[in-house]
Chains A and B, each alone.
Chain A
Amino acid sequence: MSEELAGLTVGLIGAGNISRIHAASWKAVGARVLVYSLEGAEELAQKYGLEVVASREELLAAVEFVDIVTPSATHKEITLAAIEAGRNVICEKPLTLTASDSHEVIDAAAAAGVRLYPAHVVRWFPAYKAAYDAIQAGRIGEVAVARFYRQASSPAGAGWYRDVARSGGVIMDLMVHDLDQARWLCGEVTTVYAVQNPPTVDGVSPVNVAAHVTLTHESGAISHCRATWGATGTTFQTGFSVAGSSGVLKFKSDADTGYKEELQNGATAGDLLIPESALGESPYLTQLRELAIGLRGGPEPRVVASDGATAVYLAEAARASMESGQPIDMKTFVSTGAVA
Chain B
Amino acid sequence: MSLKVAIASFAHVHAGSYAHLLASLPDIDVLSADPDGAGAPDPGPRGAEFAAQFGIPYVDSYDELFAWGPDAVVVTSENSGHRELVERAAAVGAHVLCEKPLATEVADGEAMLAACEAAGTILMIAYPVRFAPAYAQLRANVEAGRLGDVFAILGTNNGKIPYAARQWFTDAKLAGGGALVDHTVHCADLIDGLTGGASATRVYAAANRILHQDKGVEVETGGLVTINYDNGLLATIDCSWSVPDNGPTWGGVSLQVTGTNGSVEIEPFVAHIGGTDAAGEVFLPIGGNLDASLLDTFLDAVRTSGPAQPGQAPAVVPQPDGAVGLRTLKIVDAARRSAASGQAVDV
Which residues of A line the B interface, CB within 8 A?
A: 142-145, 147, 149, 151, 191, 193, 195-198, 208-210, 212, 214, 216, 220-224, 226, 228, 230-231, 233-234, 241, 243-248, 325-327
User: When chains A and B are docked, how far (Å) is the Cα of A3 from the Cα of B244?
Assistant: 46
Residues in A with CB closer than 8 Å to B232 are 197-198
**Contact (Cβ within 8 A) A142 B244:** no
Residues in A with CB closer than 8 Å to B55 are none
Residues in A with CB closer than 8 Å to B151 are 197-198, 208-210
* Interface residue from A214, A231, A246 paired with B148 (Cβ < 8 Å): A231
State which size class the interface on B falls in: 35 or more
Task: Fill in one digit per residue for B86-129: 1 if any A CB lies within 8 Å of its CB, else 0.
Answer: 00000000000000000000000000000000000000000000
* Interface residue from B148, B208, B213 paired with A145 (Cβ < 8 Å): B208
Smallest CB–CB gap between B201 and chain A, Å?
11
User: When chains A and B are docked, how far (Å) is the Cα of A209 from the Cα of B318?
Assistant: 35
Which residues of B line the A interface, CB within 8 A?
A: 148, 151-152, 154, 156, 158, 202, 204, 206-208, 210-214, 221-224, 226, 228, 232-234, 236, 238, 240, 242-244, 247, 258-263, 342-344
User: When chains A and B are docked, how far (Å) is the Cα of A248 from the Cα of B343?
Assistant: 28
Besides A245-B210, A325-B344, 6 other A-B contacts (C-beta < 8 A): A144-B222, A197-B151, A222-B222, A230-B262, A231-B260, A243-B240
* Interface residue from A144, A208, A231 paired with B208 (Cβ < 8 Å): A144
Residues in A with CB closer than 8 Å to B234 are 195-197, 210, 212
**Contact (Cβ within 8 A) A145 B211:** yes
Smallest CB–CB gap between A195 and chain B, Å?
5
* Interface residue from A144, A208, A326, A327 paired with B260 (Cβ < 8 Å): A208
Residues in A with CB closer than 8 Å to B261 are 231
Smallest CB–CB gap between A162 and chain B, Å?
15
Smallest CB–CB gap between A104 and chain B, Å?
32
Smallest CB–CB gap between B296 and chain A, Å?
34
Smallest CB–CB gap between A19 and chain B, Å?
29
Residues in A with CB closer than 8 Å to B344 are 193, 325-327
Residues in B with CB closer than 8 Å to A208 are 151, 260
Residues in B with CB closer than 8 Å to A248 are 242-244, 247
Smallest CB–CB gap between B256 and chain A, Å?
8
**Contact (Cβ within 8 A) B240 A145:** yes
Given contacts A222-B206, A226-B154, A226-B236, contact A243 B262 (CB under 8 A): no
**Contact (Cβ within 8 A) A144 B242:** yes
**Contact (Cβ within 8 A) A191 B204:** no
**Contact (Cβ within 8 A) A245 B213:** yes
User: When chains A and B are docked, how far (Å) is the Cα of A151 from the Cα of B298?
Assistant: 40
* Interface residue from B154, B233, B244, B263 paired with A246 (Cβ < 8 Å): B244
Given contacts A195-B234, A326-B343, contact A221 B148 (CB under 8 A): no
**Contact (Cβ within 8 A) A230 B224:** no
**Contact (Cβ within 8 A) A214 B224:** yes
Residues in A with CB closer than 8 Å to B158 are 243
Smallest CB–CB gap between B245 and chain A, Å?
10
* Interface residue from B224, B226, B238, B244 paired with A247 (Cβ < 8 Å): B244
**Contact (Cβ within 8 A) B152 A145:** no
User: When chains A and B are docked, how far (Å) is the Cα of A204 from the Cα of B232?
Assistant: 18
User: When chains A and B are docked, how far (Å) is the Cα of A191 from the Cα of B339?
Assistant: 13
| 16 contacts across the A-B interface (CB closer than 8 A) | A147-B224, A193-B226, A193-B344, A197-B152, A197-B228, A214-B204, A220-B208, A222-B206, A222-B222, A224-B236, A228-B152, A230-B258, A230-B263, A231-B148, A248-B243, A327-B342
Residues in A with CB closer than 8 Å to B204 are 193, 195, 214, 327
Residues in B with CB closer than 8 Å to A243 are 158, 211, 222, 240, 242
Smallest CB–CB gap between B198 and chain A, Å?
13
Residues in A with CB closer than 8 Å to B343 are 326-327
Across chains A and B, which 10 residue pairs bring their CB atoms closest together, nearest first? Answer: A210-B152, A243-B242, A144-B210, A197-B234, A145-B222, A222-B206, A145-B240, A144-B211, A144-B222, A212-B236
Smallest CB–CB gap between B235 and chain A, Å?
8
User: When chains A and B are docked, how far (Å) is the Cα of A195 from the Cα of B227?
Assistant: 9
Smallest CB–CB gap between B337 and chain A, Å?
14
User: When chains A and B are docked, how far (Å) is the Cα of A142 from the Cα of B209?
Assistant: 11
User: When chains A and B are docked, how far (Å) is the Cα of A326 from the Cα of B202?
Assistant: 10
User: When chains A and B are docked, how far (Å) is the Cα of A149 from the Cα of B204?
Assistant: 19
Smallest CB–CB gap between A97 and chain B, Å?
24
Smallest CB–CB gap between A314 and chain B, Å?
15
User: When chains A and B are docked, how far (Å) is the Cα of A209 from the Cα of B152?
Assistant: 8
**Contact (Cβ within 8 A) A145 B224:** yes
User: When chains A and B are docked, how far (Å) is the Cα of A224 from the Cα of B208?
Assistant: 14
User: When chains A and B are docked, how far (Å) is the Cα of A214 from the Cα of B238?
Assistant: 11
Residue among A195, A234, A241, A248 with most chain B CB within 10 A:
A195
Smallest CB–CB gap between A317 and chain B, Å?
14
Q: Which residue of B lies closest to A144 (CB)?
A: B210
Smallest CB–CB gap between A250 and chain B, Å?
10
Residue among A198, A222, A233 with most chain B CB within 10 A:
A222
**Contact (Cβ within 8 A) A325 B244:** no
User: When chains A and B are docked, how far (Å) is the Cα of A316 from the Cα of B228?
Assistant: 21
Smallest CB–CB gap between B260 and chain A, Å?
5
Residues in A with CB closer than 8 Å to B236 are 212, 214, 224, 226
User: When chains A and B are docked, how far (Å) is the Cα of A230 from the Cα of B151?
Assistant: 10
User: When chains A and B are docked, how far (Å) is the Cα of A208 from the Cα of B232?
Assistant: 14
User: When chains A and B are docked, how far (Å) is the Cα of A151 from the Cα of B223?
Assistant: 23
**Contact (Cβ within 8 A) A144 B240:** yes
User: When chains A and B are docked, how far (Å) is the Cα of A233 from the Cα of B233?
Assistant: 22
User: When chains A and B are docked, how far (Å) is the Cα of A233 from the Cα of B211?
Assistant: 39
Smallest CB–CB gap between B66 and chain A, Å?
42
User: When chains A and B are docked, how far (Å) is the Cα of A144 from the Cα of B241?
Assistant: 10
Residue among B213, B222, B247 with most chain A CB within 10 A:
B222
Smallest CB–CB gap between B199 and chain A, Å?
16
**Contact (Cβ within 8 A) B211 A234:** no
Smallest CB–CB gap between A170 and chain B, Å?
11
Q: Which residue of B lies closest to A252 (CB)?
A: B265
Given contacts A197-B233, A326-B343, contact A222 B208 (CB under 8 A): yes
User: When chains A and B are docked, how far (Å) is the Cα of A144 from the Cα of B233?
Assistant: 27
Residues in A with CB closer than 8 Å to B258 are 151, 210, 228, 230
